[in-house]
Amino acid sequence: MASTYKYSPLVIVILLNWHGWQNTTACLDSLVSLDYTNYRVRVVDNGSTDDSVARIRAAHPEVPILETGRNLGFSGGCNVGIRRALEEGADYIWLLNNDTTVDPHALTAMIAVAETDPGVGAVGSVLYYLDNPKDIQAWGGGSVCFWSGRTRHHLGPVPGARLHYLTAASILLRRRALEEVGLLDENTFFMYWEDTDFSFRLRKAGWRLAVADQSIVLHREHAATGKGSPLLDYYFNASAVRFFRRYALIPAWPISIGVLGRLAKRVLRCNLPGFVATLRGTYAGMRKIG
């Protein structure tokens, strides 16, 4: 069903592309079928060195492409789009991974949740695996364990207190919340954990997180880095260390337990590149925090 609001807030959708034009064009194809009408789409190309910009422009010439000129990371690239969206007067900004396809009702469902409760700063979707759409990947987001140094996606509805973060694979951000807490922390989190940090900042400022259970999004996962790649291990561990240094009462505990667990997994799998990347990421995380 289409939006029935007397006033339809302006939503600007931000897709971040980095050498992923096939995923981006497929996502843009799905956005065309949204039943919410007052939205615009902006693609941020994060310094791709292939023919991504030309390919996306040829497939969807109606969609503006913001070119960063270099890889600013997930946080930095998204922030380029967020700043432009705020300049354009967006009431809400929908950060959507480019390796997703969306149900036509996905945006309407999120707006319904946000407009019903002005205390909600961000709304997530129910994510399913793109390659296995019967399986839930995340019910909006998940929780952080400060004992084990790990996060866990929820696979079904949970009380609000247990929803520690929303995943940025699909997250609708309220303009007023962004203006109060700021954008993604691009100085600390190049890639991974930036959505968790942002969610913690929202909650600290008194905003609530919510999940729109009728907002369905299919997500490929790890399209930019490749699942199980050393690049993923490096950035994930660097960001994990920085997150726990910022939020844990005793940072050394979750950092040590989390890193040791990830190192043990890579030893058991005889994954030497992943083992080395985990150590390098951990060291990088210890050297810098915002």
Specify the range with the lowest mean pLDDT, choosing from 83-92, 178-187, 223-232, 280-289: 223-232
| Confidence (pLDDT) at 118 | 97
| Confidence (pLDDT) at 287 | 84
Taking the C-alpha atoms of residue 139 and residue 176, their distance in angstroms, rounded to an integer, is 24
Quick check: 203 pLDDT over 80?
Answer: yes
Quick check: 223 pLDDT over 50?
Answer: yes
Specify the DSSP element, H or E, that contains 265: helix 252-268
User: What mean pLDDT is predicted for residues 281-290?
Assistant: 80
Cβ burial 33-58 (10 Å sphere, 16+ → b, else e): ebebeebebbbbbbbbeeebeebbbe
Residue whose tokens read 């004992």: 147
Chain centre to alpha carbon of residue 146? 21
User: What mean pLDDT is predicted for residues 210-228?
Assistant: 81
33-57 per-position pLDDT tens digit:
999 999 999 999 999 999 999 999 9
| Confidence (pLDDT) at 3 | 46
Taking the C-alpha atoms of residue 40 and residue 65, their distance in angstroms, rounded to an integer, is 12
> How are strands ordered across the β-sheet holding 150-153?
150-153, 141-145, 165-166
Token duo for residue 5: 């609001």
Q: Is the dihedral of CA 67, 73, 76, 82 positive or negative?
A: positive
Quick check: 222 pLDDT over 60?
Answer: no
User: What mean pLDDT is predicted for residues 75-93?
Assistant: 98
Per-residue pLDDT band for 288 (boundaries 50, 70, 90) equals low
Going by the DSSP 8-state scheme, the letter that residue 207 receives in this structure is: P
2-11 per-position pLDDT tens digit:
444 557 999 9
Quick check: 224 pLDDT over 70?
Answer: no
| Confidence (pLDDT) at 229 | 85
Give percent of the chain above pLDDT 90. Answer: 91
| Confidence (pLDDT) at 184 | 98
User: What's the length of the chain?
Assistant: 290
Per-residue pLDDT band for 1 (boundaries 50, 70, 90) equals very low
- Average pLDDT over the chain, rounded to whole? 93
| Confidence (pLDDT) at 264 | 95
